[in-house]
Structure 1
Amino acid sequence: MNNSNNNTNRITTHHSTDRSWTIHHGDVNKVLPTLPPVTFDGTFFDPPYGLNFMGEEWDGTLPPVSVLEGLLRLCKPGAYLLAFGHPRTFHRLVCNIEDAGWEIRDTLCWLYGDGFPKGKNIGQTLGERWGNYHTLLKPAWEPIILAMKPVDGKFVKNATNHGCGGLNIGDCRIGTTCYTKRSHQAPSPMLADGTDKGRHPANLILNERAAALLDEQYGTSRSRRSRRRKAGSNVGNGKTLKAFRSRMDVVEGYGDEGGASRFFYCAKANRKERKGNAHPTVKPLALCEYLARLIIQPKRETPRRLLVPFSGSGSEMIGALSAGWDHLTGIEKDDQFVATARQRLFKAKDEYTRPA
């Protein structure tokens, strides 16, 4: 998140030694107009939520339409936008994103089981009669908005001309404990979905605590047992799906067993990430890496560039670095957060480039 206690007219630029990342230290409203248009392949950020968090002025307002229009100007057609939100205010953020010209594609749910109630116990003031009454529910999820800059023509044309337009499903599949190669259960012109990398990712993400709670309540189940299907055999039941012939030899079904959490990506926490980091809303690096990988485009000769406004202490940038983005551009106003982000990024870059 961006803080506003600094000189709004000052812009200082910091680079990594290999120029793989840049942080513009200044107000996002001042920095965006200085960047070249149609440059970035995506944008990923954790903005102010408009909640006045802990009485801080910087969290007073959501990103306005003008800022989101600036992001649209800088991104290529087909580029994706990922933005964290808060359950109380993300509907307004979605409206601003859409009003700026972005196309809303989905809302991901990051489910966590270790939140704690932040409301007020009315009974502490009014006595026993109100003793069981509070002002807020326990927080257990955060929305992550997924939007896209409208494509230039058809998706294939856009991908060819601009190098953008698809979600990186293949590298974000949910791994299984057994081998499988599924055939897409739909007739031509759909392509076969042959893979042994696991399940198609969902718009629900868990942390370790939420996964444990889900498995505890759901218990253990077993997926449909794997079976082989020869090319040319009939597929479909003629009711929910018209019959057609399989185009390839496949093994269908996953045949694994476990709790319900195995169907979803689980972002594992690392408590060392918070050491020396004063940012109040820092996100887990594993979560940021997964999300950054979801919107990265195929490798090419020219660098794949990600824009990270409201870059805070650098979690989204570090996640994108480990996800394989070639160049990151952050924007942050707060002096302390910029210093923390630079320190974390230098350390992370050293870890990711260190010989195995």
Structure 2
Amino acid sequence: MKTYHQSCYGLKEIEAETIDALITDPPYGISFKGHYWDKDLPNPAIWADALRVLKPGAFGLVFSSIRLQHRLTVQLEDAGFMIKDVLLWGFLNGMPKSRDVGLEIDKSLGVKSEKVGEYKYVQGYKKDTDTTYYAGEAKAIQAPASELGKKYRGFGNGIKPAYEPIILIQKPFDGKVADNIIRHGVGGLNLEETRLPYSADDGKVGHNPHPVGRVMANILRDEEFGDGYDKFFLVPKVRQAKDAFNSHPTLKPTHLMRHLIKLLTVQGQTVLDPFMGSGSTGVAALETGRDFIGYELEEEYFRIAQRRFAAAQKEVAELS
């Protein structure tokens, strides 16, 4: 494992065509919760850098936002990657990003909205307890007071997000797929290690069903939706502040990252994350027997990642 507390641009520490897979969660360019590091998409130069260090035929997975997925996809394609698919990580506990239009109308008209109650926003749960976290003091519940505001009460400017796109990319092959794998050890998706086991009440399907389970789909759910189609890999979304020492606002579940790492690699191969944040991809790499190279510019998140890596290395050592 190698980690760098510095900008990833250039990837000068890495030799050309030595990395087996790219898995990263870069800035989305949507100014999430006002964080300055998320105000823009990454400089497209990083994708050309990644293309240089990846082996021919190597796959990558790049998280994105719904709003700017199209721009990031074009940047990846312009850098020379093939766009193979888009995985959808679906979840039920997405945070609605909308405002009550009726209250906005009051504000524009200079009318003071009416206070009708109070609430405390539920932030998450303390680890291994049922105790609820609350974010800050109680906040007022307001209702429009103007006539026009009352007419548009409850209208909004957005719907509840319920998935994140993960762009599946691949560096062009060196010849045919089989020849590429022979030369470079990459070029195929590890479907065997990521098969979804049949549930107890689920009969094996198909003319020649695999004894282990189904091939994973490009939809990953965070919990059963109860719609009769729960045949997808289930990944709980991380509740912010569940682990008290980790303050990263866009923390990804290691359970999800383990699954994605297994899809793109085999044991002993190297995963690159140029935007490692608090280190979920690195932790997952350690837990699955993969090597890892990561970059993180923010000191706070880099320190958190180092702490998580030390804990993961200790746990792996104890289990071996």
State the TM-score, normalized to the length of structure 1. 0.73
Cα distance between partner residues in 2 of 1:60 and 1:177 = 43
**1:203 has 2:172 as partner:** no
State whether residues 198 and 204 of structure 2, in contact with CA within 8 Å, keep that contact through their aligned partners in structure 1.
Answer: no
Cα distance between partner residues in 2 of 1:57 and 1:88 = 18
Cα distance between partner residues in 1 of 2:89 and 2:243 = 19
State whether residues 238 and 251 of structure 2, in contact with CA within 8 Å, keep that contact through their aligned partners in structure 1.
Answer: no
Q: What residue number does 1:324 align with?
A: 289
The Cα RMSD (Å) is 2.0
**1:172 has 2:194 as partner:** yes
- Alignment CA distance shift 1:180-1:164 (3 Å): farther
Cα distance between partner residues in 2 of 1:146 and 1:274 = 29
Cα distance between partner residues in 1 of 2:150 and 2:179 = 67
**1:293 has 2:257 as partner:** no
Q: What aligned pairs does 1:1-356 form with structure 2 within 5 A after superposition?
A: 21-30=1-10, 32-126=11-105, 127-177=149-199, 195-208=210-223, 211=224, 214-215=225-226, 218=227, 259-261=228-230, 263-268=231-236, 274-297=243-266, 299=267, 303-325=268-290, 327-355=291-319
Cα distance between partner residues in 1 of 2:4 and 2:27 = 18
Gaps of 5+ in 2: 106-148
Cα distance between partner residues in 1 of 2:97 and 2:88 = 20
- Please state how far the C-alpha of 1:170 moved relative to its aligned partner: 0.5
Cα distance between partner residues in 1 of 2:197 and 2:236 = 15
Q: What residue number does 1:237 align with?
A: none
State whether residues 42 and 306 of structure 1, in contact with CA within 8 Å, keep that contact through their aligned partners in structure 2.
Answer: yes
State the TM-score, normalized to the length of structure 2. 0.81
Cα distance between partner residues in 2 of 1:130 and 1:168 = 51
- Please state how far the C-alpha of 1:181 moved relative to its aligned partner: 7.6
Question: Percent identity among equivalent residues?
Answer: 35
Cα distance between partner residues in 1 of 2:237 and 2:39 = 29
Gaps of 5+ in 1: 1-20, 186-192, 219-258
- Please state how far the C-alpha of 1:182 moved relative to its aligned partner: 7.3
Deviations 1:158-215 (A, max 9, x none): 00000000111001111013698877x6xxxxxxx7631101110000002xx1xx21
- Alignment CA distance shift 1:329-1:84 (3 Å): same
Q: How many residues are matched?
A: 275
Cα distance between partner residues in 2 of 1:180 and 1:151 = 38
- Please state how far the C-alpha of 1:125 moved relative to its aligned partner: 2.8
State whether residues 180 and 198 of structure 1, in contact with CA within 8 Å, keep that contact through their aligned partners in structure 2.
Answer: no
- Please state how far the C-alpha of 1:144 moved relative to its aligned partner: 0.5
Deviations 1:133-166 (A, max 9, x none): 2111111100001001111000000000000001
Cα distance between partner residues in 1 of 2:188 and 2:317 = 27
